[in-house]
Structure 1
């Protein structure tokens, strides 16, 4: 099993450090520093992948510290947290210290964890890029074959049929059929659905099944940046266009020329920026900040949002003309709670990915674990399921991942949610009526104990049994052997 990523958090406020350490400790190895010097000391002796620094500190600003880190430890991914969102400060920090992500206060725990996981992935990609660059110098003759192999793997990964995991009767079948129909046609598409439903996955599926599949695919979260910075990211800028613009920058629209650009959270852009984006879509031209010249582009736009854009248009918060430019075709992704039959297949697919990422191998899930996973409503959708599967794999010690490894809030799903999947517990029940009742009773006992992590007092209370009565039934059905070693007696 590979080591967990190491994160360094720098903040002079003790409570802020404690809060971040508490929230992040489950996924990362955390080091904390109260000052810039303490942070540099830690970096000198620890192998840190990501540093998260508060901007306002008494001895030195976060930007100044991260600029020094950039000089001494350029591979470390740098992130800054601040309650001040002045665009000039953001742009200056990105240019001076090479900031990967600017996090505004107050931050949300789930978003912070996601951004840190992305930062760790960036760190690993940087290292892989360095290794590949060295390898290409040594083996230039293999370059074309390697590129072709990676291209084929990408196309297979995002194939509309093979890349989208679903059951035979899944409501995702209709979505995949729409992807199959619209992908070859060069029209803009809007993907709607809750966060975590896989909108970027389907955006990539649209690209890799289109006539532009051999061209570049780029993505940008439009809800994470203020207007000026977003305009710079998408359209580019010339040196000196604004404070902190110390070099020319090519925008993502220009990088994606002849390819596809994915604009996530499109419903969050401001009315002012909506006008600028509309002009680009209408004219097929961009004008980088600080220049008077335009550049023609040929880009397919795929946008995504968790908002109802038609309702936003009716309320006057989103331009109608921009909506119709973007939504030549609209595809809605259902939430995971509406496709619970897909959960076992998704869990197995996510487990395969997690085993590759974490370097740890198991044979799969127990049936009870899959029943519990199907009984939860997954408000975070596929992204939440992915995190749960990784957590189970990290904690698992046997050949199969059991329900005792599932997070307590998933195991505590409401009775209504469990009842809709109780049919899974009655499958394969055979024999006389007495035999079937006993088999069902044994399965119910096992399910309740699993949910309560084999706490017999709580299980007996839910089932209306005494502890003696529960123990008698466990002995009768030989269920005691299934109890984890840490369970209560």
Structure 2
């Protein structure tokens, strides 16, 4: 059974040397307050030292000390407590001293009216609560700025790690190392950069690394895929538009260039834009200004442009399908991202990192890849590059029912690729281009045998059944071609 605690009432300390006056005050206040009554300043001092008192109601004329003198001491020791004087004498000097020295909240005259007294103390309780809330918020605001600044700095450092050059997975002999060294050199300077390479090689990661290593790192990094939209929509996305500029433009909207002001804009697949749009883009790069659709005046913008394409733009410039002046505006520095097949030495390390990410996505932990699976991954040319490798690993993980991902989980197109870990005296010798028909047929037979054995996890009975061979015949062929499980 849940017990809901009753909220605590505000605490009032009544100081009056007349017992009847104390009782009258208690009866008036006890429904709305927790009331303590005392007859002297000494008793009041002891209460204040043990209880959290929000309001003091103190008689002005008391034996040995006046109410103003006592409340002056309270103000020094407990400044948050609201102080009220109750007096039957209208002495102007007492009132002035109470306000100036004791900092009293209210000066009430005897005889008091119960309704007026209760209303005054209820208001005082609200004032005290608001004062406490104000102090708490002021303290939070004083600490919030450095705390928030630290949190922003920590997130910024995390972003730099996750999207910087350190996130580019590569081995000491990787072709990516030269590219990363070049990025390191050109990133601090406000130069336009053109990144070339096949789809899925990580051109966007290079663009982010350039941004987060530049002086604009604390400003926006904005992405627009130029090949996905027709001209009018692409123009609206990049430059924005005013209300009524076209059908469906019900309100003003800022474009990507305006959003990236002070930072970096990444124009992916710039080679897919039309000649008409290239003219408009050229103006932004030359003049540093653009005109939103439907706007009367252009807007200035300070943006670093990083573009990317899988096209060979130099050839397209020569063919007249891409503007030469725009090309040279974009390609102040040109970076080429190597295809995954050109850095096969990175594949085992890259596959391991992608597997870690895939386990988080699917929530399915495994111990890693078998040696045979890694050899097959390294041998495949990966026309879809890193994106294709990532999809293949997700597929393997989804299909797996063992702690380690074996080669039998790979797609057939990958299994049919000769493995790179074979010795010069076996399968690679059989694939010589100058061999005769017999040699080439044997090479093909060996490749089919190996692919079938891997798919059946080297179960000879299942493989022999599929190939129409006896178990003994299959074993002889495996011995002939030197095919063994890795």
TM-score (norm 1): 0.60
Q: Per the alignment, do residues 159 and 425 of structure 1 end up closer, same or farther by CA in structure 2, a change over 3 Å counting?
A: farther
Q: Per the alignment, do residues 393 and 284 of structure 1 end up closer, same or farther by CA in structure 2, a change over 3 Å counting?
A: same
- Give the Cα separation in 2 of the matches to 1:214 and 1:425: 57
Once the two structures are overlaid, the 10-residue window that deviates more, 391-400 or 279-288, is 391-400
Deviations 1:196-229 (A, max 9, x none): 1110011111111111111110111101101110
Q: Per the alignment, do residues 303 and 294 of structure 1 end up closer, same or farther by CA in structure 2, a change over 3 Å counting?
A: same
Specify the alignment match of 2:192 in structure 1: 188
Matched, 1:238 2:238: no
Q: 1:345 aligns with which of 349, 374, 379?
A: 349
Q: 2:161 aligns with which of 156, 168, 184?
A: 156
Q: 2:454 aligns with which of 447, 450, 460?
A: 450
**How far apart are 1:140 and its partner, in Å?**
7.4
Matched, 1:212 2:186: no
- The SS at the match of 2:472 is helix
Specify the alignment match of 1:319 in structure 2: 323
- Give the Cα separation in 2 of the matches to 1:147 and 1:264: 28
Deviations 1:77-99 (A, max 9, x none): xxxxxxxxxxxxxxxxxxxxxxx
In the alignment, structure 2 segments of 5+ residues that lack a partner are: 1-142, 427-447
Deviations 1:45-101 (A, max 9, x none): xxxxxxxxxxxxxxxxxxxxxxxxxxxxxxxxxxxxxxxxxxxxxxxxxxxxxxxxx
- Give the Cα separation in 1 of the matches to 2:379 and 2:463: 18
8 Å contact from structure 1 (residues 411, 452) kept in 2: no
- Give the Cα separation in 2 of the matches to 1:376 and 1:315: 34
Looking at CA atoms only, which structure, 1 or 2, has the larger radius of gyration? 2
Q: Per the alignment, do residues 268 and 472 of structure 1 end up closer, same or farther by CA in structure 2, a change over 3 Å counting?
A: closer
**How far apart are 1:358 and its partner, in Å?**
2.3
8 Å contact from structure 2 (residues 264, 305) kept in 1: yes
In the alignment, structure 1 segments of 5+ residues that lack a partner are: 1-138, 427-443, 484-489
**How far apart are 1:457 and its partner, in Å?**
7.2
- Give the Cα separation in 1 of the matches to 2:151 and 2:469: 64
Q: Per the alignment, do residues 409 and 445 of structure 1 end up closer, same or farther by CA in structure 2, a change over 3 Å counting?
A: closer
Specify the alignment match of 1:275 in structure 2: 279
Q: 1:394 aligns with which of 386, 393, 398?
A: 398
Specify the alignment match of 1:309 in structure 2: 313
- Give the Cα separation in 2 of the matches to 1:456 and 1:407: 20
Specify the alignment match of 1:249 in structure 2: 253
- The SS at the match of 1:250 is coil
**How far apart are 1:421 and its partner, in Å?**
4.1
Q: 1:366 aligns with which of 347, 370, 373?
A: 370
8 Å contact from structure 2 (residues 415, 451) kept in 1: no
Q: How many aligned residue pairs are there?
A: 320
Deviations 1:304-337 (A, max 9, x none): 0000000010000011110010000001111111
**How far apart are 1:343 and its partner, in Å?**
0.8
Once the two structures are overlaid, the 10-residue window that deviates more, 175-184 or 457-466, is 457-466
Aligned pairs for 1:366-445 (under 5 A) are: 366-413=370-417, 415=418, 418=419, 420-423=420-423
- Give the Cα separation in 2 of the matches to 1:375 and 1:350: 17
Matched, 1:147 2:152: yes
8 Å contact from structure 2 (residues 197, 336) kept in 1: yes
Q: Per the alignment, do residues 423 and 385 of structure 1 end up closer, same or farther by CA in structure 2, a change over 3 Å counting?
A: farther
**How far apart are 1:372 and its partner, in Å?**
1.1
Specify the alignment match of 2:303 in structure 1: 299
